[in-house]
Amino acid sequence: MQELLKIRGLTVRFYTYEGVVEALTDVDLEMGRKETLGLVGETGCGKTMTALAILRLVAEPGRIESGAIYFSPDGDKEPVDLLKLKEAQMRAIRGSKISMVFQEPGAALNPVYTIGNQISEAILVHRRGEVAAKALSSVTRKLKEGEGLLGTLFKPFRRLQRRLYSDISRSERAFIPRIIGRIPLIRGLLWRLNSEAAKIAVEMLKEVEIPDAERVAKQYPHQLSGGMKQRAVIAMAIVCYPKLLIADEPTTSLDVTVQSQILELLDRLKDEFQSSVLYITHDLSVAAEICDRIGIMYAGRMCEVGSAEEIFKKPLHPYTRALLAAVPEPGKEPRPISGSVPDPLEPPPGCRFHPRCTKALDLCKYEVPGMLEVTKGHLVSCHVIEGGRVAGSD
Ligand SMILES: Nc1ncnc2c1ncn2[C@@H]1O[C@H](COP(=O)(O)OP(=O)(O)OP(=O)(O)O)[C@@H](O)[C@H]1O
Ligand SMILES: [Mg+2]
């Protein structure tokens, strides 16, 4: 597996008035290129926190205490530890190499701007050079065609525009266009940038299979259905062709048919843009549908990682088994997991799942199990498995 992301010993704590919340403890995880990895677990187990830590967006009073997140967007270069980057370097990665789609599409959209405007803005931030190149070729064409009185009248402006667009297309942070872009009246000279970005925005809406994209681009978020909004948010997240797309429960607020359409869409986009997807869900059956590998989390720790097939056919961790038994299936009575997720202010010692585990040993109550690679790529953190006691039995 060619590695894109390697997380080692990631620990996140929240320092609250009630005490210290152990949001993530010593999490290890790997992701390959062009791979879809599912992160599954009950509420509060640290799925979103893992994603936020990757983007370094853990908000106060949360703190990334220790660990490393090695990211290698360009296969030939040395991986960088995201946790060691300066904030400015991290900003350059966020939304360009790594982007995220959140659970609630409404929250990611600004209600006072049209959908087209919001996507154009993302395009102008992440693909300014490409947009400027398009604007340049259009203004050059106009200069060539420029005959008649109007053409002659506009010639000096178009020459100036050509110069500015060619500057931006050579360097996205070109000095003179940047200054001009900030001066009210004169910044109108750069209007073609907006109109080219708007054209790309419509293309992106078509890419995420929004029918009548031209019309939708002119609409405001409240005029769209939940599924359409989520598609628009996905369009915004992929404008920069991210190497890693994080989707945090993107389909939970949608009905079942729309859910499966969105899953298909993500799968197609992943292939088309050669991205990897970190898919967060509490629903194992959804993960099974689209993921190559699955990581199961419990109370801030990773308890099992393996290929989707192994997780379903040979689940090892008692928690994974319990999650699988809880998946509703026709003709089978789902068995909900007894007990509840522990209080993150006081996680149980030893294996955090031991109070709910039917197979728990004495050892589980005080010693944290290590990660054991049972078969290639299938890792589990469980004393019972380590002792070879439940392997193969139920
Ligand atoms: N602002 C905060 N203050 C204190 N604790 C927090 C804060 N944000 C998150 N946490 C804690 O971090 C832990 C992990 O939360 P996280 O949001 O990652 O869970 P999750 O797996 O995404 O759950 P869900 O399925 O409900 O989205 C939880 O125990 C939560 O209580
Ligand atoms: Mg979450």
Of the candidates 174, 104, 74, which has an alpha carbon nearest to the alpha carbon of residue 133? 174
Q: Which atom of ligand 1 is nearest to the CA of 41?
A: 21
Q: Residue 44 Cα, ligand 1 centroid: separation in angstroms? A: 5
Give pTM, 2 decimals.
Answer: 0.90
Task: Please report which ligand is nearest the Cα atom of 47.
Answer: 1
Q: Residue 309 Cα, ligand 1 centroid: separation in angstroms? A: 28
Q: Which atom of ligand 1 is nearest to the CA of 280?
A: 22
What are the tens digits of pLDDT across the range 236-251? 988 888 999 999 988 8
Task: Please report which ligand is nearest the Cα atom of 100.
Answer: 2
Task: Please report which ligand is nearest the Cα atom of 46.
Answer: 1
Q: Whose CA is nearest to atom 11 of ligand 1?
A: 23
Q: Residue 320 Cα, ligand 2 centroid: separation in angstroms? A: 18
What are the tens digits of pLDDT across the range 172-225? 777 777 777 777 777 777 788 899 999 999 999 998 889 899 999 999 999 998
Range from 201-210, 283-292, 322-331 carrying the lowest mean pLDDT = 322-331
Strand partners, 329: 332
Domain boundary assignment for the chain: 3-106+245-296, 115-202, 312-386
Around Cβ 362, how many Cβ atoms within 10 Å? Answer: 10
Token pair, residue 179, equals: 């200054």
What are the tens digits of pLDDT across the range 165-181? 887 877 777 777 777 77
Q: Whose CA is nearest to atom 17 of ligand 1?
A: 48
Q: Whose CA is nearest to atom 25 of ligand 1?
A: 43
- CATH number, domain 3-106+245-296: 3.40.50.300
